[in-house]
Amino acid sequence: MKKKFNLLICFIIFIFLFEIFDHSNIVISTIIKSTSIWFYNLVPTILPIYIIIDLLLNYNAIFYLSKIFGKFMKKVFKMKEETSFVFLLSTLSGFPSNSKYLKNLLDNKIINNQEASKLLLFTHFSNPLFIIESIGVTFLNNKKIGIIILIIHYLTNVIIGIINRNYYVNFDSNIKLKEKKKDSFVTCLSNSILNTIKILFLLYGIITFFMIITSLIKANFPFNNNINSLICGLLEMTQGIYFISNTTLPLIIKASVITFFISFGGLSIHLQVFSILSDYKLKYKDYLIARIMHGIISFSLVFLILYIMKL
Q: Is residue 205 part of a domain?
A: yes
Reply yes or no on whether the pLDDT at 74 is more than 70.
yes
- Nearest 5°: the CA angle 9, 11, 16 is 95
Average pLDDT in the chain: 85
Q: Would you give the distance in Å from CA 144 to the centre of its chain? A: 22
The more confidently predicted of residues 119 and 47 is 119
Count of structural domains, the chain: 1
* Average pLDDT of the segment spanning 74-100: 86
| Residues 255 and 229: beta-carbon distance below 8 Å | no
| Alpha carbon separation from 97 to 4, 126, 127 (Å, rounded) | 35, 10, 10
| Residues 76 and 112: beta-carbon distance below 8 Å | no
Q: Is residue 130 part of a domain?
A: yes
Report d(CA 16, CA 11) in Å as an integer.
9
Residue 172: predicted pLDDT = 63
Least confident segment among 5-14, 150-159, 230-239, 258-267: 5-14
| Residues 164 and 118: beta-carbon distance below 8 Å | yes
Q: What is the domain extent for residue 239?
A: 20-309
Report d(CA 310, CA 12) in Å as an integer.
47
DSSP state of 83: G
* Average pLDDT of the segment spanning 279-299: 92
Residue 178: predicted pLDDT = 56
Residue 261: predicted pLDDT = 95
Residue 160: predicted pLDDT = 95
- Nearest 5°: the CA angle 88, 184, 179 is 45
Residue 146: predicted pLDDT = 94
Q: Is residue 93 part of a domain?
A: yes
Residue 289: predicted pLDDT = 94
Report d(CA 150, CA 6) in Å as an integer.
41
Residue 180: predicted pLDDT = 56
Give the tens place of pLDDT for each residue, 124-183: 999 898 899 889 998 999 999 999 999 999 999 999 999 998 887 766 655 555 555 566
Residue 207: predicted pLDDT = 81
Q: Is residue 10 part of a domain?
A: no
Q: Is residue 193 part of a domain?
A: yes
Residue 121: predicted pLDDT = 93
Residue 1: predicted pLDDT = 61
Q: Is residue 9 part of a domain?
A: no
Reply yes or no on whether the pLDDT at 10 is more than 80.
yes
Enumerate residues 6+ apart whose C-beta is below 8 A from 263: 124, 153, 156, 291, 294, 295, 297, 298, 299
Residue 163: predicted pLDDT = 93
- The angle that helices 61-72 and 43-58 make with each other, rounded to 10 degrees, is 90
Least confident segment among 54-58, 110-114, 255-259: 54-58
Least confident segment among 68-72, 98-102, 140-144, 219-223: 219-223
Q: Is residue 7 part of a domain?
A: no
How many residues are given for the chain?
311
pTM for the predicted model, two decimal places: 0.82
Most confident of 49-58, 163-172, 255-264: 255-264
Q: Is residue 85 part of a domain?
A: yes
Helices (H) and strands (E) in the chain, counts: 15, 0
